[in-house]
Amino acid sequence: MTFLLFVLLEFQFRVCDFGYCKTIPVETAVIAISSCESGDGHHFGTIDWDAVSETNDTGAFQFNDRTWRWLTGRDDRAVDAPHSVQLEAFRKLWNNGYGHKHWSASQKCWSQWLEIKDGRAVER
């Protein structure tokens, strides 16, 4: 008799909007990119939703204002938007790993957790 064991590894993200917080499951890429873009770049899971870079990119995923407006249609900046909106914009641009080039400047960092296969960023 053969037994198969399936293990689903799921990461959790704490998202707070307007004072209400919840924990949601997220993909490895969400944590990897945010750890490199707004976190410390060394520890998986570090994040700063309110990060502002020297180049004025903002939020957990460091969107520039032009890209942010294009993705969301909003007049605010990523840093001023609810966490769930930042996450939704990331997922849209990330495009299931095919949009990894939008974060090519931090690829050296996030490649410790993700790799490129067939033009798509996937979990190592």
CATH number at 38 reads 1.10.530.10
pLDDT band at residue 88 using 50, 70 and 90 as cut-offs = very high
- What does the pLDDT average to over 112-117? 96
Helix (H, G, I), strand (E, B) or coil at 33: helix
Separation of alpha carbons 67 and 93, rounded Å: 9
Q: What is the pTM of this model?
A: 0.86
Answer whether residue 4 is part of any domain.
no
The neighbour count for residue 41, using CB atoms within 10 Å, is 14
Separation of alpha carbons 121 and 100, rounded Å: 6
Answer whether residue 29 is part of any domain.
yes
Answer whether residue 2 is part of any domain.
no
32-59 pLDDT, tens digit per residue, is 999 999 999 999 988 899 999 999 999 9
Answer whether residue 1 is part of any domain.
no
- Domain limits for position 63: 11-123
Answer whether residue 19 is part of any domain.
yes
Answer whether residue 38 is part of any domain.
yes
Bridge partners, 23 (sequence order) = 14
Question: What integer pLDDT is reported at residue 10 of this predicted model?
Answer: 64
Total tally of structural domains belonging to the chain:
1
Answer whether residue 6 is part of any domain.
no
Whether the predicted pLDDT of 60 surpasses 50: yes
Whether the predicted pLDDT of 25 surpasses 90: no
Answer whether residue 112 is part of any domain.
yes
